[in-house]
Amino acid sequence: MERYARKMISFINGIRKILNGLIILLFLSMTIVVIINVFARFVLNSPIPWAGEMSRYSFIGVIYLGAVLAVKDQSHIGLDIFIDYFPPKIRKFIDTGSKILILIFLIVFTYKGIEMVLNNLNTKSAAMLIPMAIPYAALPIGGMGMIFELVAQLLKIENVSENERMEGK
């Protein structure tokens, strides 16, 4: 069991590194394209036709991939003012129940995101002429990432990782 947990932790950490790299890449590309387009528009009087579209799609990717990190850190907006009045056992029950409801939502969200990707394989974007499936892919990728993080929290896989760090393994 412990061996399986270590492999799962290693897999999850690898996915997190890839997500962090993608977020950085998308954010940098968005920032660079916007800066270059502002220069081209106001100094050269010749804006880049595809810059707005690319920055918009990059921003969408940053949002959905960043949502995975927010789920990991449990930093999404929540209304816990009422939950704090309950005893710890009931709080844990409410927390687990809400994670299960969110998980159900994310499964539907991811499924519908996959449908959107498949339905837009042949549709081209207006300026960059790329398949619209590419920007829409942020939805199922982000959804799957959030599902992985919620499952890890529900199975308490993170606790195993923290215990190993404390024990110095």
Q: For 51-90, how does the pLDDT look when each residue is reduced to its tens digit (9 = 90+)?
A: 999 999 999 999 999 999 999 988 887 777 778 888 989 9
Task: Tell me how far CA of residue 34 lies from CA of 41, 63, 135, in angstroms.
Answer: 10, 17, 18
Between 80 and 139, residue with greater pLDDT = 139
Size of the chain in residues: 169
Q: For 99-134, how does the pLDDT look when each residue is reduced to its tens digit (9 = 90+)?
A: 999 999 999 999 999 999 999 999 999 999 999 999
- Per domain, the residue ranges of the chain are 2-167
Rg of the chain over Cα atoms, rounded to whole angstroms, equals: 20
- Global pTM? 0.82
Q: What are phi and psi of 124, to 5 degrees?
A: -100, 150
Tell me the DSSP string of 61-89.
HHHHHHHHHHHHTT-S----TTGGGS-HH
